[in-house]
Amino acid sequence: MDAGWDYERFKAFTCADDDDIDTFRRLAGPTIGLKRGEILRMQGAPDPQVYILLSGWVACSIIVGESARQIVKVHLPGDLVGMPSLAAPTACDTIEAVSAAKLGVIETAAIGQVFSSNPRLAALLFLVSQQERVVLMERLASIGRTSAASRIAALILELRTRLRRNDPTIENVVPVPLTQEDIGDMTGLTPVYVNRTLRQLRTSGIATWRRGVITIDDRDALAVLAALPQSPERDTSWIPSRRG
């Protein structure tokens, strides 16, 4: 744990080993602290940077029209934040702290260095991006083609799965610092309707989401409701080995 960065989390996320971690750690620059609700950078800001989330949660969102907001990703500790804007002159999304958070800045040039000097780590970064694409694709399918209850069920299961990578002891009680408005912005619903849908999940004995804590009462029913495949593990055999 250097400057609070949860390396174990990052290792699990990328299948990186200790040497990879060492290499990567050297990339992280100064640390930034954010209070809940604080904005790290706005969509459209010039010269976007890449960050690594050390602690807390941040949300990346896109503003549509005058006021509508769509959260495209909530990041948990260990996540790389801001990669999609890597090659853009201006940021394509807004990064905002959902809870108090700390981030390390990663110079864009350092990413290029990884590709030159550490092909294995570069491939791991590439792989992480593919996984992020899959998550986005599944969220797209969820929002485009399912009911409010299904979208929220899928969200609950996604958060549970991701949090379990950090903390394998998590089972049916999942701490989540999102407001109902945040949930709406993630699922494409209004806060009012999120509230009604949560009540429906609660009264039907499937899940209870209250005061920042989800309690899953019937995981099978939740999975059926979500209607999305639970992705299995990854195959990393194609990644270059360290010596070769």
Partner DNA sequence: CGACTTCTTGAGGAGACTCAAGGGTGGTGG
Partner DNA sequence: CCACCACCCTTGAGTCTCCTCAAGAAGTCG
Which helix (DSSP H) or strand (DSSP E) does residue 175 occupy? strand 173-175
Q: Which of 49, 55, 85, 94 binds a second copy (CB under 8 A)?
A: 85
Neighbours of 30 (CB within 10 A): 8
Q: Does 90 bind a second copy (CB under 8 A)?
A: yes
Which one of a second copy, DNA, none interacts with residue 64, CB within 5 to 8 A by kind?
A: a second copy
- CB burial of residue 177 (10 Å; 0-12, 13-18, 19+): middle
> Measured between alpha carbons, how far is 98 from 179 in angstroms, rounded to an integer?
9
Q: Indicate left, alpha or beta for 205 from its phi (over 0: left) and psi (-120 to 50: alpha).
A: left
At its nearest, how many Å lie between a second copy and the CB of residue 126?
Answer: 5
Q: Does 229 bind a second copy (CB under 8 A)?
A: yes
Tokens for 149?
């209850």
Neighbours of 51 (CB within 10 A): 26
Beta carbon nearer to a second copy, 72 or 207:
72
Q: Which of 4, 42, 126, 212 binds a second copy (CB under 8 A)?
A: 126
Site string for DNA, 118-147 (x = CB under 7 A): -----------------------------x
Site string for DNA, 161-190 (x = CB under 7 A): ------------------xxx------xxx
At its nearest, how many Å lie between a second copy and the CB of residue 46?
Answer: 10
Which one of DNA, a second copy, none interacts with residue 204, CB within 5 to 8 A by kind?
A: none
At its nearest, how many Å lie between DNA and the CB of residue 140?
Answer: 14
The alpha-carbon radius of gyration of the chain (Å, integer) is: 18
Q: Does 123 bind a second copy (CB under 8 A)?
A: yes
> Measured between alpha carbons, how far is 193 from 11 in angstroms, rounded to an integer?
38
Tokens for 153?
């069920």
Q: Which of 148, 153, 174, 176 binds DNA (CB under 7 A)?
A: 148
Q: Which of 9, 41, 75, 139 binds a second copy (CB under 8 A)?
A: 139
Tokens for 125?
């970064």
Among the residues of the chain, which ranges form H helices? 7-14, 18-25, 108-117, 119-145, 148-166, 180-187, 191-203, 219-226
Give the interface with a second copy as residue ranges (CB under 8 A). Answer: 43-44, 60, 62, 64-65, 68-70, 72-73, 83-90, 92-93, 108-109, 111-113, 115-116, 119-120, 122-123, 125-127, 129-134, 136-146, 187-188, 227-229, 231-236, 238-240, 244
